[in-house]
């Protein structure tokens, strides 16, 4: 009997705008090094006169954030002094390592035009030997990310490789992330190349080995060597995965660590205002109680 994928359904949260959280889930804590997966929006900030949607300065340790927008824009600032507008199909990767602080705010033009904002916020656990490494920030314009363009399939290889293409984006362990647009009634076969692999449906409906799945479903396909993916209507999906985590990870608030003492130290550092500051930013998100 052929194995079936494990379906993960989102938990919807309102944090000033709508998000759907897929990872971690009760069924699956991680897929490869992917330990956190939020799908934001669609959101509209024209009526947000108090700027509640702005994500104020907050810290990270032990992870790399991946920001990938599908519509709209955000402005990234961090304690290394980077200021970078996040726009659709560009890729931002921020390695927190031993500690970084960043904010993400809605640009004035997006707010004033009430434009749609939609995208993914993903956390990738760093290997244990990089958890205390120096933080860094990397931005990649959409034009430098390799793309496969066919009549019925368009793939953008964001991280590492796929479809015979290799991305220039930095990554810190065996990892894969690909954005695919597939026209209705067309199919392709996907051969799993990582021990742990997943598919996320951004929009539309697909069949996977002749079983139907829909928008916002995440499928853990690590038990399947090959799958046939068919779009029953126009669909957008993300294929992702990588090597399993080298050790279990502890997630607490914005911190990720293989070591509880290191995580407790980060809590104390944030409470004591001992993290580096973001130039030009004065407010911050207090440590949860």
Confidence label for 2 from pLDDT (cuts 50, 70 and 90): low
Whether 4 shows a pLDDT value over 90: the answer reads: no
What pLDDT was estimated at residue 221?
96
The tokens for 110 are 């997006």
Report d(CA 193, CA 108) in Å as an integer: 42
Residue 117 lies in a domain: yes
Confidence label for 9 from pLDDT (cuts 50, 70 and 90): very high
131 versus 48: which is more confidently predicted? 131
Owning domain of residue 117: 6-242
Residue 57 lies in a domain: yes
Report d(CA 196, CA 227) in Å as an integer: 14
Asked if omega into 24 is within 30° of 0 (cis), the reply is: yes
- Percent pLDDT > 70 in the chain is 99
Q: Quick one: 210 exposed, middle or buried, by C-beta within 10 A (0-12, 13-18, 19+)?
A: exposed
Report d(CA 157, CA 169) in Å as an integer: 9
**Cα 273 to chain center, whole Å?**
27
How many structural domains comprise the chain? 1
Residue 270 lies in a domain: no
Confidence label for 1 from pLDDT (cuts 50, 70 and 90): very low
Residue 287 lies in a domain: no
CATH number of the domain enclosing 129: 2.60.120.10
Whether 88 shows a pLDDT value over 60: the answer reads: yes
Place of tokens 């004035």: 108
Residue 135 lies in a domain: yes
Residues 6+ apart with CB under 8 A from 230: 185, 186, 187, 206, 207, 208, 210
Residue 17 lies in a domain: yes
Mean pLDDT of 15-36: 94
Whether 50 shows a pLDDT value over 90: the answer reads: no
Mean pLDDT of 183-189: 98
Q: In this predicted model, what pLDDT tens digit does every residue of 136-157 receive, in sequence order?
A: 999 999 999 999 999 999 999 9
Q: In this predicted model, what pLDDT tens digit does every residue of 63-74 receive, in sequence order?
A: 999 999 999 999
Q: In this predicted model, what pLDDT tens digit does every residue of 170-180 receive, in sequence order?
A: 999 999 999 99
Residue 268 lies in a domain: no
Residue 84 lies in a domain: yes
């Amino acid at each position: 009997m052929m194995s079936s994928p494990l379906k993960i359904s989102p938990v919807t949260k309102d944090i000033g705008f709508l998000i759907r959280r897929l990872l971690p889930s009760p069924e699956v804590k991680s897929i490869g090094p992917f330990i956190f997966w939020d799908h934001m929006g669609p959101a509209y900030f024209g009526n947000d006169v108090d700027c509640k949607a702005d994500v104020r300065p907050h810290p990270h340790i032990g992870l790399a954030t991946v920001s990938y927008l599908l519509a709209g824009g955000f402005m990234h600032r961090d304690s290394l002094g980077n200021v970078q507008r996040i726009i659709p199909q560009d890729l931002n990767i921020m390695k927190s390592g031993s500690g970084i602080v960043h904010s993400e705010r809605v640009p004035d033009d997006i707010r004033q035009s009430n434009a749609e904002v939609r995208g993914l916020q993903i956390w990738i656990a760093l290997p244990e030997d990089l958890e205390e490494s120096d933080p860094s920030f990397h931005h990649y314009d959409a034009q430098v990310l390799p793309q496969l363009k066919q009549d019925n399939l368009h793939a953008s290889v964001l991280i590492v490789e796929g479809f015979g293409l290799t991305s220039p984006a930095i990554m810190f362990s065996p990892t894969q992330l690909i954005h695919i647009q597939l026209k209705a009634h067309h199919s392709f076969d996907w051969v799993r190349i990582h021990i742990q692999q997943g598919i996320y449906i951004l929009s539309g409906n697909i069949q996977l080995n002749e079983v139907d799945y829909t928008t916002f479903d995440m499928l853990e396909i690590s038990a399947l060597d090959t799958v046939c993916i068919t779009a029953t209507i126009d669909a957008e999906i993300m294929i992702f995965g990588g090597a399993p985590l080298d050790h279990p990870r502890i997630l607490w608030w914005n911190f990720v660590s293989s070591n509880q003492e290191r995580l407790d130290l980060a809590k104390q550092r944030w409470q004591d205002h001992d993290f580096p500051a973001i130039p030009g930013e004065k407010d911050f998100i207090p440590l949860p109680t």
